[in-house]
Amino acid sequence: MKIKEFIGSTVLDKNANDVGKVDNVDFDVETGKIETITLTLQKNIFSKDELEISFEDVATIGAYVILNKEITKEVEEPEEAETVEIEIENEE
């Protein structure tokens, strides 16, 4: 598998729960081995979080990236939108 195919892959935890997608991969420049993978976690429609995991936590890579650990996502309620009043002046 090429790295460009790996980026964007869906990541599942050991219980097959959708965790997120692979966003970035960090290598050891001397050995060429993958050290960490950064995942993008979808929190809600407007916000995302990132999670960095060790490559040692990856069980398999194929159609999905499957981790050998459980990842729990905390669901936050969306904050209420703040109302902002804007005054528009007409220049005549």
- Tens of pLDDT, residues 28-67: 999 989 899 999 886 666 667 888 999 999 999 988 999 9
The Cα–Cα gap between 18 and 11 comes to 6
pLDDT above 90: residue 6:
no
Asked if residue 75 is part of any domain, the answer here is no
Over the chain, what is the mean pLDDT? 79
Question: Looking at residue 10, which CATH number applies to its domain?
Answer: 2.30.30.240
Helices (H), 21-65: none
- Tens of pLDDT, residues 9-38: 999 999 999 889 999 999 899 998 989 999
pLDDT above 80: residue 72:
no
Asked if residue 74 is part of any domain, the answer here is no
- Domain extent at residue 59: 3-67
30: left (phi over 0), alpha (psi -120 to 50) or beta: alpha
Query: What is the number of domains present in the chain?
Result: 1
* pLDDT for 75: 47
